Amino acid sequence: MSVWTAVSAIAVGYLFGSVSFTRILGRWVLPDDDLSGLELQLGEGTLRFDRTSASLISLKRGPGYGCLTGLLDMAKAVIPVLGFKLAFPDHDYEFFAAAAAVVGHNYPVFHRFRGGAGMSPYLGGLAVLDWLAVPVVTLLGAVTGALFRNVIISYISGVIWLFPWFWWRGAGWEAFAYAIAVNVAVWPAIWPTMTDLNRMQRAGEIDRREAMKLLTRGHPSLDRDKYLPD
């Protein structure tokens, strides 16, 4: 394995990941809005999304635009990961590109290192690395969350299941390095909002079903007038 090629994969993945489609699309569909964060009125409490992600577009403009933003965020990981996978089929440089794309999305150099939560580029990159892992670890995460009756675990624990999954698949050290990098990038980014959401759920300010609607990019049945401030 070439160190310089690995570094190149990291650099390319990071720069692709740093492209903020939330900001690009937001300038078109929400030209007068601040996309650096969003406060939702939940009962007597307020939940703040302090990440610039597809969820903001979805909550403000609906799931259609949120889905488009999410797909673009997935694509920006797919392109460099697929490129390195095809260019170097005998090596695993694509794992470095995939991890760097998530880091770039969450901490973009083009936007003062303030980005999203990383779930869309994580899924996009993983689909190229091991497409079967996407439904498996996502399902395992959902089942784990259901067992603990915890919306945080349901939403994000799939990234933890990457470790036993790669072990079962007999993957190399590059896959485990990728899993570590993704967990380190995603958990700190999403934990504050998820903790507040779970606290409000426990306090009865929002029920579990509505919490999941908020997490799934603005579910079509979500009553936005109830949550979005004037």
pLDDT tens digits for range 15-49: 999 998 888 887 777 776 666 666 666 555 566 66
**pLDDT, tens only, 206-221:** 665 666 656 554 444 4
- Looking at every residue in the chain, the average pLDDT score rounds to 82
> Does position 222 have pLDDT exceeding 60, yes or no?
no
DSSP string, 64-92: HHHHHHHHHHHHHHHHHHHHHHHH-TTS-
Q: Are 40 and 59 a contacting pair, CB within 8 Å?
A: yes
Query: Residue 87 and residue 74: Cα distance in Å, rounded?
Result: 20
What is the average per-residue pLDDT within 117-139?
A: 94
SS3 assignment, position 178: helix
Question: Which of 33-42, 58-67, 116-125, 148-157 has the least mean pLDDT?
Answer: 33-42
Predicted TM-score (pTM) of the model is 0.84
Query: Residue 50 and residue 101: Cα distance in Å, rounded?
Result: 20
What is the average per-residue pLDDT within 170-184?
A: 95
DSSP string, 103-166: HHHHS-GGGTT----SHHHHHHHHHHH-TTHHHHHHHHHHHHHHHHT-HHHHHHGGGTTHHHHH
**pLDDT, tens only, 89-123:** 999 999 999 999 999 999 999 888 888 888 899 99
